[in-house]
Amino acid sequence: MSVESVLFYLFGTILVASALGVITARNPVHGVLLLVLAFFTAAVLWLLLQAEFLAIVLVLVYVGAVMVLFLFVVMMLDVNVARIREGYAKYLPLGIVIALVMAAQIVIVVGAQAFGLEFFPRPEALPADHSNTRALGLLLYTHYVYPFELAAVILLVAIVAAITLTLRHREGTRTQDVSRQVRVKRADRVRLVKMDSDKGEQP
């Protein structure tokens, strides 16, 4: 067994185990942390495929940004695990049957008889100075420019939708209006009161 195979099976096992952990962990924070582990090992698998750009982006974007945000949300929301698990035992037998059927189908279908090396010859290893980033960039902005632009539009829709659904101007909330703060004049905030110093206000 070559070094690559050993590494592949090692990290593949960790990936599957941590993915199983995500869906079985009782504590949601543990679930999120296991998902982080799964992303890290998936990144390693990509490195083994010589796709270093994708591996680094996976770590930077998913682990660095998305999962941290996830962790914040999980910690801030009071997730009642017991309520979510209601009916878990009731649907478990049906779920197991469906999962087994699906797994059997996939094992039968996605095997060497249809996806073996005789159908898809092993790709040649790329030279050490091959730049995955450069290759991706060249493809994205030439051959795949149309889907690339569409993906950008989808992100724009996500921004518009998120803002529309969450931005509320409720009466009584103390939001900061920066332009009003900047525009403010001395007269708006300070009031000079003339009082006789010797008399003062008598209680």
Draw the binding track, 74-113, toward another protein (x: CB under 8 A; -: no contact): -------------------------------xx-xxx--x
The one among 153, 182, 190, 195 contacting another protein by CB under 8 A: 153
Cβ atoms of 201 and 195 within 8 Å: the answer is yes
Rule CB under 8 A: say whether 16 interacts with another protein: no
Contacting range for another protein; rule: CB under 8 A; set: 4-12, 31-39, 51-59, 161-169: 161-169
The one among 65, 88, 147, 184 contacting another protein by CB under 8 A: 147
Residues sharing a CB contact under 8 Å with residue 133, sequence separation 6 or more, in sequence order: 52, 53
Long-range contacts from 86-91, C-beta under 8 angstroms, 24+ separation: none
For another protein, the closer CB: 82 or 153 = 153
Rule CB under 8 A: say whether 49 interacts with another protein: no
Long-range contacts from 13-21, C-beta under 8 angstroms, 24+ separation: 14/41, 15/41, 15/42, 15/45
- Count of residues touching another protein (by CB under 8 A): 34
3-class state of residue 199 by DSSP: coil
